[in-house]
Structure 1
Amino acid sequence: MLTFAKAKLAVLGIVRRCVALRALNGAQAVRRGFASTERDEKSSTSENELFDIIISGGGMVGTAMACSLGLDPNLAGKKILLLEAGHKKEMDKVPETYSTRVSSISPGSAALLSGLGAWDHIVNMRCKPYNKIQVWDACSDALITFDKENLQDKMAYIVENDVIVAALTKQLQTLSDHVEVQYRTKVVKYTWPHPYHVSESIPWVQVTLANGKTLHTKLLIGADGPNSMVRREAGIPTVKWNYNQSAVVAVLHLSEPTENNVAWQRFLPTGPIAMLPLSDTESSLVWSTSHQHAEELLQLDEESFVDAINSAFKLLFSQAGYFYWPYWSQAFASESRLPSKLWSNENHSELVETAGSLFRTALSVLMPDSGSARQLPPSVAGIGPKSRVVFPLGMGHATEYIRHRVAIIGDAAHRVHPLAGQGANLGFGDVAYLTKVLSQAAFNGKDLGAMQHLLEFETERQRHNLPMMAAVDLMKRLYSTNAAPLVLLRTFGLQATNALPPFKEQIMAYASK
């Protein structure tokens, strides 16, 4: 028995030594594996740079995103890169002439730009605040105005896109220790990691540049516009349609200096026309109309083009259905120069006129202090040199804003009709919220490209963007017809909304975010 026990102990000792030896060999193998992986990563990083975040697209939204990330204290130490295919947009002093591409910047977006340090630059260059909006219908007498109770408060600001980008670029230069920028850099290919089976060769998003260089990033942010290559290459579906309309934009010279603090918009059967203040003597035109009419407007000589603008804004109808020119009836030598759809009385109907008048009277009895006085916009005397530009209009919305290690923002995620002036504001809202979730992820030591917090960004922004886009699209469609039932419907809607200040305040609050 003793001999058997000794033999058993000897066998157990051998087994333990074998297990220990195997464990030691395993540990050494693991250490070799880690060292090999570390060497591979260092080698890979030296040849193909690894960034925590790469932003593709350096327009207004992309540059704002770079500034926002670079200023966040929780993201300090992260490697951030902005890629821009165009040249660096600097502006030592503003040009004498205004640009045709402008944006209406809401108070919420202005607050974001102020927090980024760019708003002071914008104010020192140029921007024009306005404190009132007047919208009215060409097919009825209905109108609605939005203004602040305190007329000193600003509803929004009209700013040239180039000024916004230049201000953000100037601020980005102060963040060179936190954000790297590569201008005139074109991306030719994106390679995506598998979300569940991470390849050893491509654990991150791979960005291949036209110069042959390859970059890696833990999170790619696509801010590359409505024709986004990031969205397309990531396979993100997009719901989109064209409106069969074009927008004619131009810089307008007013007949005389004015306070010019009102944004004007009139819905014509062919589409909305808007006049936005740039200064006391200039305004910006955005005229949405059919492709054919847009081309006709481009071909007009300057005098005829100015006549068409003035007629579109100021042509009113008497109760008898005849048009007249308030205050300046002799402004045009011949009505034949005006587009027939603008000056004929086919856009009005006696039914709509009578019903609208009765409804307006009833509202004034029920709410005597409601409603707004009708104002006429300033007349236009000329246009800026070579300022007429046309571009097609459409709507698009990405069904997803994120994929594994990818997020899209701005026009890459959503494109809207310009009638509400919300395109840039939706993009700046994306910037603010994506920065928030990435900052929290970094604070918690999480992977910046993980789906958990990216899903939070997508949910919150779609919850805000979709209702706004749906409302803009519905408004565009509702006002694209002169059918009497729909004209009557929108007449009642405008008049009722105009008579309810609390409802208007809710609309303004939502749009100002």
Structure 2
Amino acid sequence: MGTDNPMAYMTENTNLQRALLSKIEQDGQGRIVVQEGRKVEEMRMGEGGRWVGLRFGNDWVRGGVVVGADGYNSPVRAFSDIASFGHGYDTHAIVATLHHSPIHNHTAFQRFLPTGPIAFLPLGHDSTTLVWSTSPRLVVAYKALGPEGLATMINLGFFMHEQGLEGINTQILAAHDKGERFNLAFLDEQWNTILNNLTTEQTKSLPPPIASVAPNSIASFPLKLSHAESYIGDRTVLVGDAAHTIHPLAGQGLNMGLADVKVLGDVWEKVKSNGGDLGAYTSLLPYTRERYPANHLLLSTTDKLHYLFSTRIPGINWARSVGMDVINELGPIKKLLMGRVGAQASGTSTTANGGSPMRPQGSVYERAADGMDAFRNVKTVAGMAVAAGRELVKGGARQVLERLAK
């Protein structure tokens, strides 16, 4: 992507945390108290449901609402008795910080392998974040290679053809299962062969070769899709991973959480200006009406993309490649998708049957969001597929693109 029209920005988590703490210190004087090194040991609903209390040791703090921004295993969600649906993937992700030769590092790369996507996400001119989703067995075996072996394996993951990678994976797993250390010299030999045969054109369209991996940065975690059946409870509201978790192939987990917080803040500004109760159920309804359908659509789409890009069935491969080429050539559609990937916080609030807002109750709300998801996807994709299919037969892909773009 060019620097004049970026699709997204990357920042290290420590920089984001530092900026947020600085903002709290600047604007939160007398209004915000940061409690570090203390654990919430108990939550309790106050008399008449007018407040909720949190216990820190022997001290109680009470307020009108508690925000559950406490991750996938959210105690606030459990306290609110809000169920969560979804499924785990037979996939783990390896994350690490990569070092390479200094470059004009403004382009992200992602390769969809049969075992899962490997992503190169730029941080600085000589450093990059890795997110490699693959099978749990391979994650363990890759980490056992050590930083040096993992660096070479990452290079092979981006540059080597799939059949060669499959053979190397088989050997790595066999050695790991036997408790043997894999021969890193063999990996170096494979990489040097590829490196010596790279063309100038290939080097322009692929990420820079990785020189090393920061040892302390290597970590892994299981991947899962989950969505809470509601974002609001009695004097509680969920944001971020407490409300939803997503496959990282689109890099939208943090963006979705930030969008949640932005919308919740806007809703509270309006409630406050009207003298309302910030924790009242009806006060929080606009937040869940806006964010639940938007998040569910992105969760569902990403889930489908995971399975679509994992398959190697010839017919699906062809359709997937043609579809991506068509989207890449259609400027307006491409821009629309890029905007969606940004997980914008704005959206259209919806009501049931054109009447009063309804509380999202379990599978009912899930089905409603699924229905909207299916209708939008089927209508859009089917319309494009039929129109493009007819024109492809008549006059070729280029004519289709020129005609649709007019």
TM-score interval for Structure 1 and Structure 2 normalised by the shorter chain: 0.7 to 0.9
Secondary structure, aligned partner of 2:316: helix
Q: Distance in 2 between matches of 1:464 and 1:411?
A: 15
Q: Structure 1 regions of 5+ residues with no counterpart?
A: 1-131, 133-147, 324-331, 344-372
Tell whether the 8 Å contact from 2:276 to 2:283 is kept in structure 1 after alignment.
no
Q: TM-score, normalised by structure 2?
A: 0.72
Whether 1:473 aligns to 2:303 is yes
CA RMSD of aligned residues (A): 2.4
Match of 2:268 in 1: 438
Match of 1:187 in 2: 40
Larger Rg: 1
Q: Distance in 2 between matches of 1:192 and 1:296?
A: 48
More displaced stretch, 457-466 vs 153-162: 153-162
**CA shift for structure 1 position 297:** 0.5
Amino acid at match of 1:476: H
Match of 1:59 in 2: none
Whether 1:404 aligns to 2:404 is no
Runs of 4+ in 1 over 6 A off after TM superposition: 336-339
Q: Distance in 2 between matches of 1:219 and 1:404?
A: 8
Match of 1:177 in 2: 30
**CA shift for structure 1 position 379:** 0.8
Residues 293 and 448 from structure 1, CA distance in 2 versus in 1: closer, same or farther, beyond 3 angstroms?
A: same
Whether 1:288 aligns to 2:133 is yes
Match of 2:123 in 1: 278
Pairing partner for 1:208 from 55, 58, 66: 55
**Cα displacement string for residues 21-48 of structure 1 (whole angstroms, at most 9, x for unaligned residues):** xxxxxxxxxxxxxxxxxxxxxxxxxxxx
Amino acid at match of 1:473: D
Identity of aligned residues (%): 35
Tell whether the 8 Å contact from 2:148 to 2:213 is kept in structure 1 after alignment.
no
Match of 1:97 in 2: none
**CA shift for structure 1 position 481:** 2.2
Match of 2:248 in 1: 418
**CA shift for structure 1 position 214:** 1.9
* Residue correspondences, number: 314
Match of 1:329 in 2: none
**CA shift for structure 1 position 483:** 2.4
**Cα displacement string for residues 308-363 of structure 1 (whole angstroms, at most 9, x for unaligned residues):** 1111111248xxx999xxxxxxxx97469779xxx9xxxxxxxxxxxxxxxxxxxx
Residues 436 and 222 from structure 1, CA distance in 2 versus in 1: closer, same or farther, beyond 3 angstroms?
A: same
Secondary structure, aligned partner of 1:159: coil
Residues 257 and 203 from structure 1, CA distance in 2 versus in 1: closer, same or farther, beyond 3 angstroms?
A: closer
Q: TM-score, normalised by structure 1?
A: 0.58
Match of 1:312 in 2: 157
Q: Distance in 2 between matches of 1:156 and 1:299?
A: 33
Tell whether the 8 Å contact from 1:308 to 1:338 is kept in structure 2 after alignment.
no
Q: Distance in 2 between matches of 1:184 and 1:302?
A: 32
Bigger share in strand: 1
Whether 1:242 aligns to 2:72 is no
Bigger share in helix: 2
Amino acid at match of 1:178: R
The aligned runs of 1:114-153 (5 Å cut-off) are: 132=1, 151-153=3-5
Greater RCO, 1 or 2 (C-alpha within 8 Å, sep 6+):
1
Match of 2:9 in 1: 157
